[in-house]
Structure 1
Amino acid sequence: MSTVLARCATLLWYLLPFSVFAQSSPTPAANPAWLEQLVRESGVLRRHNVGVCLTDVATGQQVFGLNEDRYFTPASTMKLLSLYAGLQLLPDSLPSLHYVQRPDTLLFWGTGDPTLLHGDVPSRRAFTFLQSRPEQLYYAEVPTVTAFGPGWSWDDYNYYFQPERGAFPIYGHTVRFYGKAGQPMPKVLPRFFRPLTQLAPAGTPNPAQDHVRRPELENRFLVLPSTSGWVDETPFRTSTALLLQLLQDTLRRPIRLAPLRLRAQDSIRTLRGLPVDSLYRRMLRVSDNFLAEQVLLMCASALTPDSLSTARTIRAVQSNYLRDLPDAPVWVDGSGLSRLNLITPRALVGLLLKLHQQVPEPRLLSLLAAGGGQGTLRRVYRDARGPWLWGKTGTLTNNHNLVGYVRTKSGRLLAFSFMNNNHVVPTADIRREMERVLTQVREKL
């Protein structure tokens, strides 16, 4: 008898965790028949891989799911994970640089802050600080990531959406060109790159209709003919030598290179810069890849100030803050440029629920693109009475996703992920079909 009781006790011990998990996890509600039919019978959606998850923010109850447990290529929706990392690891203002003050020298190094003289979120805090210091300036290199992330498309190096990553960015690692009709040579900013800009040889093929083209391994910029005005951004190839040239050219004072060798008496200080939301807002609303990558580097700097590692940030966030997601993401970069990233629709919704719990709703929604308002959703999901959908888009060739929040006419706030992978129809068709479905969600749930 005692043996039987012992076996029963042992069985109960093994079953207990599973019964507790079953009771504590929300049970998915039966999918509304009309919504199931709307998605499954769509002539646009049924030809590719689709994953949808809808959850009530107030209750945590799943309202609808289709392939919500399958992994998809997320594209730029991964920026929501970068936002979450920043919220956990960064203070209210960006760390602009680290420095050590000694009697006659100032040793400084990068934190990954991308705002120094950036064209869209510009900060002069580090510029003013370095320009005004009486000491001799020494820049120290720190171990950092490769210029491109794992799984990035190498042949996108020429385009504004893929600048190189780095420890101490300046000018957003891009050159801006402003072309005028009738003038063959554009205005070039920063001016440092003017001598490196020239007209492309006559007859240069231009199948992609580029305005400026840079050879892959060089900082030479070839301007292609155009009959109208235009504005373009082209990434420049980064190096420590070029950084020192740009800093000296801008600050009008010498800067020397030094190894990062800290002494026992050294006190590492951090110069603070812009409020973090100014960066998050730009990163999410217009889907800025460079800012997202640099957020993970700044997080790495907060973990270990003498080394910048995207992988270290990802490991720390996944192990310390995201272990309760329904499915573990495959997460390799900050921007979503890599096709190595994978995540399930329900994991993204789980992240949205965590964000809503930790960030006041008005602030959270203000960071996202708003339907009919601003960012990547400004031309869709319109309503004269104001936004009803806030989200983050994610697009790569043959993949288009949307993740965010819907306010229904009944007053519910729903967290959703709507993922489309491997489609062959135009992305505009996918956008219109998602809008048709989500408009019905707003009307009926």
Structure 2
Amino acid sequence: MSVFVVVCRALVVCVVCLLAVPTRAQVAPAPVASASFVNPVWLSQVIQDSPVLRQHNVGVCLTDATTGAKVFELNAERYFTPASVMKLFSLYTGLHMLSDSLPSLRYVVRHDSLIFWGTGDPTLLHGDVPSRRALDFLRTRPEKLFYAEIPNVTAYGPGWTWDDYNYYFQPERGPFPVYGHTVRFYATAGKLRPRVYPRFFRAMTEPVPAGTPNPADDHVRRPELENRFAFFPITKNWVDETPFRTSSALLLQLLQDTLHRPISLVPFRLHAQDSIQVVKGLPVDSLYRRMLQVSDNFLAEQLLLMCSSRIGDDSLSTSRPIRVMRTLFLANLPDAPRWVDGSGLSRLNLVTPRTMVALLLKLHQEVPEKRLLSLLAAGGGHGTLRRVYRDPHGPWLWGKTGTLTNNHNLVGYLRTRSGRLLAFSFMNNNHVVETSEVRKEMERVLTQVRERL
């Protein structure tokens, strides 16, 4: 590759990202940290006296979201496994690289042929954030349809657990997802078979052989490398999502069955005279909200792929937007994060509590508060926090949870009784008690923060 091409690509990256960043008129001035640092002794004592919290690694950081003044720190400079709180980095990336709508697909027209390729948009026929815009566009085009597959999209991220391939939270990533890369099974007690969606996979679904053990209490199992689904005897109502193995051939089958017209596969190759067009998809907040509130890993991974598509059409990867964000927008974080994926599934991710709070301050500066809080799970309201942090008068805590085995974290904003909005990070790593016990202690501590600060 020539030096000229490399320089041009670097300029494209900078231009794309700078076009997406809010202007100075849109962003409030950076908060100035107060010279006084309270660090209340009582809060340290509450954490240290907890028989649950003192058994594992705990990191806490509290900062006034409006002024930037530090309020409390405990091990805030230490690195922790963040789990799904890394989705806030994905959100920040999307806010800087995407417009107000998702890029649904890209295409070029050459004579009587329409060649299209994926941007990573995960919403096509998705079960929870569904869009048919790409289908409607392709269905009405008069040209012959050709699908060009973007290279270099790996199915799984670095450090993911390979044997979670069977579970809803780890679908394969891809350039042109359909149905969220999962099969949904709807079982009704008393019926012999579950309903299968999409129907395409019904012929691949059979009951498990009699006497098959089920130590993991699964509803459906799939062999690692095959699209065959075996369901256990139905004794009660349940709904299950199981990822399917992706391939170009399977994608074309699913698209052709839906569109009722032929689609051919072609190598991805752009010509100098090509005029690339974009089909707009759903509003971005519809994806951000679902991704954050229920902690959807697939949406987070695909979000970074969509951001990668803004940088260039030659390939899609999560590493490209991560490099751009670290260089252009996140170089001044207190501690550089180890950031390898969009969802936080990887245990290779590492971040400090004070860096998470610094990210929260950036978000609060750049996004209107009402919009920002509406994207997060709300205590006693919706999402992963709907059963905790309750108050009959309305939510007082908004955040993003992050849970892996032996790790549970919560990052977000809380409103104190005095009216202050605090940005906080409360991270727990290497605990051996049940996550529910850690969650209860966190709620007890943060409730005292609400009452006393």
Both proteins in one fold, TM over 0.5: yes
CA contact (8 A) 1:31 1:65 kept: yes
- Partners of 1:248 and 1:53 in 2: how far apart? 52
Q: 1:307 to 1:27 in 2, by over 3 A?
A: farther
Q: In the alignment, is residue 393 of structure 1 matched against residue 398 of structure 2?
A: no
Instruction: Mark the runs of 5 or more structure 1 residues left unpaired by the alignment.
Output: 1-23
What percentage of aligned pairs have identical amino acids? 74
C-alpha displacement at 1:28, in angstroms?
Answer: 6.7
C-alpha displacement at 1:226, in angstroms?
Answer: 2.5
Q: 1:28 to 1:350 in 2, by over 3 A?
A: farther
Cα deviation code 1:392-442 (max 9, x no counterpart): 000000000000000001000000000000000000000000000000000
**How large is the RMSD of aligned CA atoms in angstroms?**
0.9
Cα deviation code 1:58-83 (max 9, x no counterpart): 11011000000000000000000000
Which residue of 163, 167, 175 corresponds with 2:171? 163
Q: Which residues of 2 match residues 69-218 of structure 1 at below 5 A? A: 69-218=77-226
> Amino acid of the residue matched to residue 381 of structure 2?
G
CA contact (8 A) 1:144 1:166 kept: no
- Partners of 1:208 and 1:42 in 2: how far apart? 33
Secondary structure class of the residue paired with 1:260: coil
- Residue aligning to 2:296: 288
Moved over 3 A (4+): 24-28
> Amino acid of the residue matched to residue 295 of structure 2?
S
Q: In the alignment, is residue 250 of structure 1 matched against residue 258 of structure 2?
A: yes
Q: Which residues of 2 match residues 376-391 of structure 1 at below 5 A? A: 376-391=384-399
CA contact (8 A) 2:33 2:69 kept: no
- Partners of 2:401 and 2:280 in 1: how far apart? 30
- Residue aligning to 1:370: 378
> Amino acid of the residue matched to residue 185 of structure 2?
F
- Residue aligning to 1:9: none
Which residue of 220, 238, 243 corresponds with 2:246? 238
Secondary structure class of the residue paired with 1:393: strand
CA contact (8 A) 2:120 2:177 kept: yes
- Partners of 1:128 and 1:112 in 2: how far apart? 18
> Amino acid of the residue matched to residue 325 of structure 1?
L
- Partners of 2:33 and 2:290 in 1: how far apart? 35
- Residue aligning to 2:8: none
Cα deviation code 1:302-332 (max 9, x no counterpart): 1112310110110001111001110100000
- Residue aligning to 2:17: none
> Amino acid of the residue matched to residue 310 of structure 1?
T
CA contact (8 A) 1:28 1:64 kept: no
CA contact (8 A) 2:191 2:234 kept: no
C-alpha displacement at 1:184, in angstroms?
Answer: 1.8
Secondary structure class of the residue paired with 2:72: strand
- Partners of 1:110 and 1:28 in 2: how far apart? 51
Which residue of 214, 228, 242 corresponds with 2:236? 228
C-alpha displacement at 1:25, in angstroms?
Answer: 6.3
> Amino acid of the residue matched to residue 287 of structure 2?
L
- Partners of 2:78 and 2:278 in 1: how far apart? 43
- Partners of 1:75 and 1:184 in 2: how far apart? 38
CA contact (8 A) 2:33 2:68 kept: no
Which of the two has higher C-alpha Rg?
1
- Residue aligning to 1:444: 452
Cα deviation code 1:266-294 (max 9, x no counterpart): 10011000000000000000000000000
Per the normalisation by structure 1, the TM-score is: 0.94
- Partners of 1:417 and 1:343 in 2: how far apart? 11
C-alpha displacement at 1:26, in angstroms?
Answer: 5.4
Per the normalisation by structure 2, the TM-score is: 0.92
C-alpha displacement at 1:262, in angstroms?
Answer: 1.5
Q: In the alignment, is residue 403 of structure 1 matched against residue 408 of structure 2?
A: no
Cα deviation code 1:36-55 (max 9, x no counterpart): 10111111100000000000
Which residue of 283, 302, 319 corresponds with 1:311? 319
Q: How many residues align?
A: 422
- Partners of 1:200 and 1:302 in 2: how far apart? 45
- Partners of 1:280 and 1:58 in 2: how far apart? 23
Which residue of 420, 423, 435 corresponds with 1:415? 423
